[in-house]
Structure 1
Amino acid sequence: MSTQVSQQGAPAMAHGTDHEIIRRTANFHPSIWGDQFISHLPKDSKVHEALELEVEKLREQVRREILLAAASNYSSQSLDLVDAIQRLGVAYHFESEIEEALIRIYNNHIDMEDGDLYSTALGFRLLRQHGYSVSCGNY
């Protein structure tokens, strides 16, 4: 039985005694986009440097936003910002700022008791995710 399955499952056919494999090819039409997305970075070093400066400026702006939200009394804004940064996949750029914001939230979680269910659940999840000992009974 296993020999029958292996013979039927082989997509290529042996041709003659030289065991040349003949494979079917598909005639796909060329993409309407061409190859313009293959090389997406400009070759000019001045443009590349300008893009790097813009990226660094935006990183600093996000760092300031995280620290500003953490310093404010509105921990729900800080939690939303940390959650959004993590969901975007760029949290590795802001590890120390996120940790500082979560420390402030953990130390001042008293104002979360008056918050809505979403903020409480988000705070609970983020703090537990980052290793803080938060029980559901006292949060």
Structure 2
Amino acid sequence: MKLVVGCDEAAYKLKERVKNHLEEKGYEVIDVGVYNEDPSLYPATAEKLCKEIIDGHAQKGILMCGTGIGMAITANKMPGIRAAVCHDIFSTERSVKSNNCQVMCMGARIIAPESALMLLDRWLECEFAGGHSKPKVDLINEIDQKYR
């Protein structure tokens, strides 16, 4: 699986840890920035990351900023993208199992790096359950297309 990672300056160090962790596990990783701790505008990074998924260059993405909230808001503006803030095991699992989420968002000012890596591993292990969740995700997709 090919993954894409991105961050703002607040999460640069976390992004580097996440990227190294993923590469050590054998994933091919596209890094859309940022590449240092200089001030940046997180919406630009979120857009770049989501475009990689929309264009088929990656299957899933991990966005990181101070809280994960701004990245999730921006990512969810992109057509066909479902992004969720994941800071605990239950919401991390449900983001994929119930919502078929392709973008995990985390806050470097909220979660310890070790916890972030543990949740990332669990997120990547999860699969969409379908079943009673499928009509909900289908309706999300219909609403998404309706307003494009």
Larger helix percent: 1
Structure showing greater radius of gyration is 1
Q: Same fold (TM over 0.5)?
A: no
Tell me which interval the TM-score lies in, with the shorter structure as reference length: under 0.3
